[in-house]
Amino acid sequence: MAALKTQILGLLLSIPGLILALSLHEFAHGFAAYKMGDNTAKYYGRLSLNPFHHLDPIGTLCLFLFHFGWAKPVPINPYNFRSRRSGIIVVSLAGPVMNFLVALICAFILAVMERFVHFNEFVFFIYQVVLYCEILNIGLGCFNLIPIPPLDGSKVLLELLPYRYRDVFYQLERYSSLILVALLVTNVLDPVLGTMRSVVTLAINFIVGLVF
């Protein structure tokens, strides 16, 4: 019973962080595309911080239940970019970078709270919400950097690959979703994701440590 209560509490504490992580991730893609010359996201009303414009009900539920999920992809037309190749790379990286920036802001908030705020039950609750937000944003940013379609990292990898290897990549892409699910279910990606999260966390703590 105690374990169940802990899981439910963790789920409740993670809700604000999940909504923020997914919404800002997709907003960043759309905003970067807009800055690179593509108005598609703006035309479809996706240059918005409103979570309801970005959240996919099934993808969000899967994120809660299985710790991997998705939001509604921001519509983008790479042929509108001033530079197609650099545009795709910048737009693809914008989502994870946004997640890492949010995690950094959360880390600064936590550091301020630890040093200057007197803790009571309410403050401790807020502290936990911000902590979960930091952890979830780091996790989502790292997950999306994995170079397997349809994740953002795959789009960056495709643009960096020599043209002679792209046909092989396209051939594998049709099975990519099944490959990704299989890797997640079998926990094959856990060591990779764990290392990525550790590196990002160390970098964030280093930056915060320069101030405090």
- Kindly write down the DSSP assignment for every residue of 119-174, as one continuous string: --HHHHHHHHHHHHHHHHHHHHHHHHTSSSTTSHHHHHHHHHS-GGGHHHHHHHHT
Place of tokens 């598609």: 40
Residue 79: partners with Cβ closer than 8 Å, 6 or more residues away: none
Active-site hit among 26, 121, 134, 159: 26
Which pLDDT tens digit goes with each residue over 162-184?
Answer: 877 777 777 777 887 788 888 88
Task: List for the chain the helix, strand, coil content (%; round to 5).
Answer: 75, 0, 20
DSSP code for 80: G
- Please say whether the beta carbons of 78 and 16 come within 8 A: no
pTM: 0.91
Give dist(CA 75, CA 155) in Å, integer: 15
Which pLDDT tens digit goes with each residue over 117-148?
Answer: 999 999 999 999 999 999 999 999 999 999 98
Give dist(CA 96, CA 56) in Å, integer: 18
Domain count, the chain: 1
Report the greatest alpha carbon distance in the chain: 61
DSSP code for 55: B
- Please say whether the beta carbons of 116 and 76 come within 8 A: no
Domain assignment of residue 80, given as a range? 2-211
Which pLDDT tens digit goes with each residue over 35-65?
Answer: 999 999 999 888 988 888 888 877 777 766 6
Q: Reply yes or no on whether 26 is catalytic.
A: yes
**Rounded (5°) CA angle 61-65-66:** 110
